Amino acid sequence: MSYAMQKIIESKLALRRQLAARPVAEKLRMLDAMRERELAIRGRAAHPNPSSLREEPAHFKTKPESIEP
């Protein structure tokens, strides 16, 4: 493995350790910032139609149908 590749791997491991050591609240703020950037890149609003985020419950029969002879 080349010297440059070894430095890249070491740098990535150091960054991962630093990120893992951060508090959860800070990680969540970072996630929100990444989402905002992603939406800005796409050119869309965060949630243009909030109702589209809800899932309708499945409809199941609660009583068995009676079978008439």
CA distance 39 to 50: 15
Residue 21 domain-assigned (yes or no): yes
- The answer to whether residue 47 is domain-embedded is no
Residue partners of 19: CB distance under 8 A and separation at least 6: 27
Q: Is residue 23 part of a domain?
A: yes
The total number of residues written for the chain in this structure: 69
Give kind and range of the element (H or E) at residue 12. Answer: helix 3-21
**Block residue for tokens 């589209």:** 52
Interacting residues of 39 by C-beta distance below 8 A, sequence separation 6+ = 45, 46
Top pLDDT among 9 and 41 is at 9
Domain interval for residue 16? 10-42
Residue 62 domain-assigned (yes or no)? no
Residue 48 in domain? no
- What value does the mean pLDDT take over residues 6-30? 96
Q: Is the pLDDT of residue 18 over 90?
A: yes
